[in-house]
Amino acid sequence: MCGRRARRYARAVIRTDWQVRVDRTPEQVFDFVADLRNGPAWNPDSSNVVMTSDGPVGPGSVFEEDRERFGRTVTTIDLFERPKRLGFDAHASRIRVRVRYALEQDGAGTNVVCTAELRLRGASRLLEPMLAAVAKRGVETSRGPALKTALERERPVP
């Protein structure tokens, strides 16, 4: 019984979802979100972001950043279908995160839907109930509006 319960607990996932409409083209939104160096402009948990891979931002690009709750994180673009779908795989010593964005043109703007799945590692799993509530409350209510503000305060590129 202990073994089954432990395996079930290890597979637990914290899932967050949010969506927002941004008054920018899908290409503008995609390019902004894909370059994680823009992250601190709309994600308060992100800082000191550097791209560690060579070349332009694209499939396989790798970034390192400091995350408020999880420390140094390495993130790879693992889904890059410009301008419709974008995905990241991020990992740190205490967490692994899979993030997916779907972008759809809506008139002169873009509807953005984001889903993130967080898997805690090691002793951090003990914090899962508290982190799930914080993630849902914070991420789901703040990330979309913050992305919208960051993109729309910039002058649109023709």
For the chain, give the secondary structure using H, E and C.
Answer: CHHHHHHHHHCCCEEEEEEEEECCCHHHHHHHHHCHHHHHHCCCCEEEEEECCCCCCCCCCEEEEEECCCEEEEEEEEEEECCCEEEEEEEECCEEEEEEEEEEEECCEEEEEEEEEEEECHHHHHHHHHHHHHHHHHHHHHHHHHHHHHHHHCCCCC
Residue 133 domain-assigned (yes or no): yes
Of 19-23, 83-87, 139-143, the range with the lowest mean pLDDT is 139-143
Whether residue 4 is contained in a domain is answered as no
The whole domain housing 17 covers: 12-153
Q: How many domains does the chain have?
A: 1
The model's pLDDT over 129-145, given as tens digits with 9 standing for 90+, comes to: 666 666 666 666 788 99
- Mean pLDDT for 91-96 is 90
**Comparison of pLDDT for 114 and 140, the residue scoring more:** 114
Assess if residue 3 is contained within a domain: no
Whether 6 maps to a domain, the answer reads no
- Residue 104 in any domain: the answer is yes
Is 130 a domain residue? yes
Q: Is residue 85 part of a domain?
A: yes
Q: Indicate whether 5 belongs to any domain.
A: no
Q: Is the pLDDT of residue 120 over 90?
A: no
| The model's pTM | 0.85
CATH at 107: 3.30.530.20
